């Protein structure tokens, strides 16, 4: 059955009304979304703290370890051969200056000295006789000259034997402690044999190897603090006594001797010592250690520019003391570097300083 014209008109009118309603809904949605998309986002503010780069004295405190040794040591060698008749001191015994350390049998040399004295006296008598005859022109002048030479030789022989006889008696050159005894009474010694070793316990020094970076700040007389493990934690006063002129090319370290002033009771050569030096490295460019950043390429900082943005600057750090560190390259005096607020910070970021009063402070 075919639709009647009035029915077809009613359907067309309904479709047109529905289309108009749908179009109106679409325009309302679009008009309401447009302002939301066009609204600009609020810019975030990156807050940071900064510090000003400046120069200051950087105090350094470094501890080095070494061993104690006696600076004044004598190895007693004999200068004459012979049999030992007296050797009274043993290891650990205390000797005073001029104490007799060693006595060799002197009989042979004493006999030779007596013979040399007799020959000298004979030569002197012969010379006196020839000089009287020479005044009467009864002997030649060259014969008198030979007689004078014989007297001189006899005197030299006597002096030589007297000196050798003195070598049979060895005395202590200074007060100290016997550390080695290498012979016994009755032993036959050859010339230059080593018999005893004496050390002065008051000349103890700590022998150290220190960094080449510290050496320019040390001088003879520089004070140090010395701790000896065997004697507990008490610090003792020390003074730099000697700085050796050459460095070890493999370790870049130099040898320094620190004397104990005075040596404490119980200190002995060979003990383990810890020596602390405190020096002031002048005119160093320093920043807070918290400003220093590191990545795979090395060290860097974020430097604040005049336009309020930060840039990333490569630097080379030096010595660190507590919360400060020196900067050897990359920054100039007066530069401002970020010390806090690194999360999300990148080169070119505009920042707001919340604390610009923080500088490198603290005494070295």
Q: What is the pLDDT of residues 66-97, one digit of tens each?
A: 999 999 999 999 999 999 999 999 999 999 99
pTM: 0.60
**HEC readout, 171-228:** ECCCCEEEEEECCCCCCEECCCCEEEEEECHHHEEEEEEEECCCHHHCCCCCEEEEEE
CATH code 2.40.420.20 region(s) in the chain:
48-56+284-355
**Angle 237-242-248 (CA atoms, 0-180°, nearest 5)?**
120
SS3 label, residue 10? helix
CATH class of 78-102+171-199: mainly beta
For residue 46, how far is the Cα from the chain centroid? 45
Distance CA 270, CA 258 (A): 14
Does 106-167 carry CATH code 1.10.287.470? yes
Q: Are strands 223-228 and 73-77 parallel, antiparallel or unpaired?
A: unpaired
List pLDDT tens digits, range 136-174.
Answer: 777 788 888 999 999 999 999 999 999 999 999 999 999
CATH classification of 48-56+284-355 is 1.20.120.530, yes or no?
no
Provide the residue-wise pLDDT of the chain in tens; the chain has 364 residues. 444 555 554 555 555 555 554 445 444 444 444 454 444 555 577 899 999 998 877 667 789 999 999 999 999 999 999 999 999 999 999 999 999 999 999 999 999 999 999 999 999 999 998 888 877 777 788 888 999 999 999 999 999 999 999 999 999 999 999 999 999 999 999 999 999 999 999 899 999 999 888 888 899 999 999 999 999 999 999 999 999 999 999 999 999 999 998 889 889 999 999 999 988 766 778 889 999 999 988 999 999 998 989 999 999 988 776 688 888 888 988 999 999 989 989 998 999 898 654 444 433 3
Q: Which two tokens stand for residue 192?
A: 């230059």
CATH code: domain 62-71+202-282 is 2.40.30.170
Sign for the CA dihedral angle at 102, 103, 104, 110 comes to positive
Cβ 283 vs Cβ 326: under 8 Å: no
Beta bridge partners of 47: 352
**CATH 2.40.30.170, the chain: domain bounds:** 62-71+202-282
Long-range contact list for 24-33, CB < 8 A, 24+ apart?
none
Domain with CATH 1.10.287.470 in the chain: 106-167
Torsion, Cα of 63, 68, 72, 76 (10° steps) = -150
């Amino acid at each position: 059955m075919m639709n009647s014209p009035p029915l077809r008109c009613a359907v067309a009118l309904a479709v047109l009304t529905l289309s108009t309603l749908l179009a109106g809904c679409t325009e309302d949605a679009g008009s309401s979304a447009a302002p939301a998309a066009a609204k600009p986002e609020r810019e975030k503010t990156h807050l940071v703290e900064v510090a000003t780069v400046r120069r200051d004295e950087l105090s350094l405190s470094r501890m080095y370890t070494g061993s104690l040794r006696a600076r004044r040591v004598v190895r007693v060698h004999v200068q004459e051969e012979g049999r030992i008749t007296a050797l009274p001191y043993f290891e650990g015994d205390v000797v005073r200056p001029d104490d007799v350390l060693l006595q060799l049998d002197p009989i042979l040399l004493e006999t030779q000295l007596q013979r040399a004295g007799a020959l000298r006296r004979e030569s002197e008598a012969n010379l006196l006789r020839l000089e009287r005859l020479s005044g009467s022109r009864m002997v030649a002048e060259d014969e008198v000259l030979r007689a004078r030479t014989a007297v001189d030789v006899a005197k030299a022989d006597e002096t030589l034997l007297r000196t050798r006889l003195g070598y049979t008696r060895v005395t202590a050159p200074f007060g100290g402690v016997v550390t080695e005894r290498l012979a016994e009474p009755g032993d036959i010694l050859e010339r230059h044999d080593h018999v005893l070793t004496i050390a002065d316990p008051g000349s103890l020094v700590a022998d150290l190897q220190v960094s080449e970076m510290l050496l320019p700040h040390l001088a003879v007389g520089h004070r140090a603090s010395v701790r000896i493990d065997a004697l507990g934690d008490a610090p003792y006063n020390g003074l730099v006594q000697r700085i050796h002129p050459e460095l070890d090319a493999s370790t870049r370290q130099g040898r320094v001797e620190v004397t104990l002033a005075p040596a404490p009771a119980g200190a002995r050569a060979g003990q383990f010592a810890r020596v602390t030096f405190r020096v002031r490295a002048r005119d160093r460019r320093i920043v807070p250690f918290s400003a220093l950043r590191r990545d795979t390429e090395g060290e860097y900082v974020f430097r604040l520019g005049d336009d309020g943005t930060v840039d990333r600057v490569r630097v080379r750090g030096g010595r660190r003391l507590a919360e400060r560190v020196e900067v050897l390259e990359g920054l100039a005096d007066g530069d401002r570097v970020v010390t806090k607020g690194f999360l999300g910070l990148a080169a070119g970021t505009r920042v707001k300083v919340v604390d610009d009063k923080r500088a490198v402070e603290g005494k070295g």
